[in-house]
Amino acid sequence: MINTYLNDLDAFISANDAVANIDVIRRDIRDTGLEKIALYRYRLKLKDGSIVELTERIIEERGQINTTKYRFHWQNKSGELIKRWDNAPHHPEINSFPDHLHDGAVDNVKSFRKSSALDILIGIINEIVTL
């Protein structure tokens, strides 16, 4: 399941014309016999010059996968935050805690329902294509 999840993400990135470059900073899968744990971090440069970083820690056990930690960061070519989705436990006031979205600024925090890296990336690419 983890391999399929990562392979689907890799295939989308490789086939998408909006992605100009990809740096695989980390991509590890460890199989303990009881569970698989994947840690990855990708940095994508998109055709509009913006940067997307995708980082997740995923556990597969008993036929299910669960993302225990994630951070999807999108910034413009000047390095300014566009959006960041994460589950760092620092905004307990948000009703989707710990999942949240920093929208346009670090201090502009909104509720966010956890989503996959692929869904986030598809949303980002759809947004830049329509700009």
Q: What is the pLDDT of residues 64-101, one digit of tens each?
A: 999 999 999 999 999 999 999 999 999 999 999 999 99
What b-and-e string marks burial along 27-58, b requiring 16 or more CB atoms within 10 Å of the CB?
eeeeeeeeebbbebbbebebeeebbbbbbbeb
Low-confidence ranges of the chain (pLDDT < 70): 131
Q: What one-letter code names the amino acid at 13?
A: I
pTM: 0.93
* SS3 assignment, position 49: coil
DSSP 8-state symbol, 115: -
- Residues 102, 92: Cα–Cα separation, whole Å: 14
